[in-house]
Amino acid sequence: MNNGSEMRRIVTAWVIVSVIGDLLWWFLVGPHIPPGNMTESAHWNQFDFNILAITALPVVFMVWIWMGYAIVKWRDKPGVPDPVGGEAAKASRGVQAGWITITSIVVVSAAIYGTVALIGDHGSGGGEGPNPVWAPQGGVAANTAAIQGKATWSPAGDQPLVVQVIAQQWKFSYRYPAFGGMETNRLLLPVNTEVVFDVTSLDVIHDFWAYQLSVKADANPGVNNVAFADTKQQGQFMVRCDELCGIWHGAMFNSGRILSKTAFMAWATKTEAQNAQNTKYLPPFAWTYTPDANGASGGLYPDGNVTPYSPYATYGAKQPAS
């Protein structure tokens, strides 16, 4: 056995297979990897997944090629001396050190790359509470305007659209402060628009997951979890709850749609008028709503005590000062 020539053979095969594999992945598989291209962050998430994939593929190929070569070339054959016995069977420190070093660098680099990319504009916030590390241009100002009752949006402008996602067992509702604070059971969005999602819950922990938008944000009672999406492509997307939240968790999904700006405006204006009678009964737009309603006539709250039904224990009411 010639260690040098065999190593050259293995490395050559590995380089060729890796280059072909990475190219095939990038051009044939990559464009179909979720979450797709419906939003800017979805596009960059897809890019990031593909970067990680083409980084990991050569590692997989090296393991397979090495194993395949060993099975074919170094297997025991009748009448032939053991090919890897004696000195040849000893471990190669150089190979071991090289393999550990290279794979360690790959893993650490992937972790750093993924973290840095997702914490910035490749991500959507969505796990960082009310003040994400990164926010798109105008996102914070739009959200501030919403809580001040000054939210606006028009097809001609470029201001972000604020949408509140309200989860409860077992349904999502959507509130649009720029359209009179109306609440709907459908999530419709305009294309080419920065969307600010304010995600909260009225009872237990849910999770707002619109994977085609690359948005996934926990919906916690009493917490405003902010996420962003810059819509790029019209079409339908799914919204699912991704936190096991009770018996009907599996039924907690609906579909949403990204429309043209004019179509969205037409829908929003029409729905605002249709819902006006009910919207006036809704509480003022707030980032969180008191989840302490116990249902009819009272019930058990997490402290284990029976708490009476109280005026502030209703949707939208302010917590009393403690």
Q: Interface with another protein by CB under 8 A: which residues?
A: 166, 168-171, 173, 183-186, 202-204, 246-248, 251-252, 254, 274-275, 277-278, 281-283, 291, 293-302, 306, 309, 314-316
Which of 214, 279 has the CB closer to another protein?
279
Which of 127, 246 has the CB closer to another protein?
246
Cα dihedral 15→21→24→26 (10° resolution): -90
Task: Quote the least distance from Cβ 152 to another protein, whole Å.
Answer: 22
- Which pairs from 279-284 meet CB under 8 Å and 24+ separation? 279/180, 279/181, 279/182, 279/183, 282/175, 282/181, 282/183, 282/316, 283/315, 283/316, 283/317, 284/149, 284/181, 284/316
**CA angle centred on 221, ends 216 and 227, rounded to 5°:** 30
Among 136, 109, 132, 121, residue whose Cα is nearest residue 51: 109
Which of 93, 280 has the CB closer to another protein?
280
Task: Quote the least distance from Cβ 275 to another protein, whole Å.
Answer: 7
**CA angle centred on 191, ends 187 and 197, rounded to 5°:** 45
Which of 99, 309 has the CB closer to another protein?
309
Task: Quote the least distance from Cβ 28 to another protein, whole Å.
Answer: 33
Task: Quote the least distance from Cβ 207 to another protein, whole Å.
Answer: 17
Which of 45, 200 has the CB closer to another protein?
200
DSSP state for residue 302 in the 8-state scheme: T
Task: Quote the least distance from Cβ 248 to another protein, whole Å.
Answer: 6
Task: Quote the least distance from Cβ 244 to another protein, whole Å.
Answer: 13
Q: Distance (Å, rounded) from C-alpha 98 to C-alpha 300?
A: 61
Q: Distance (Å, rounded) from C-alpha 113 to C-alpha 122?
A: 11
Cα dihedral 135→136→138→141 (10° resolution): -20
Which of 64, 248 has the CB closer to another protein?
248
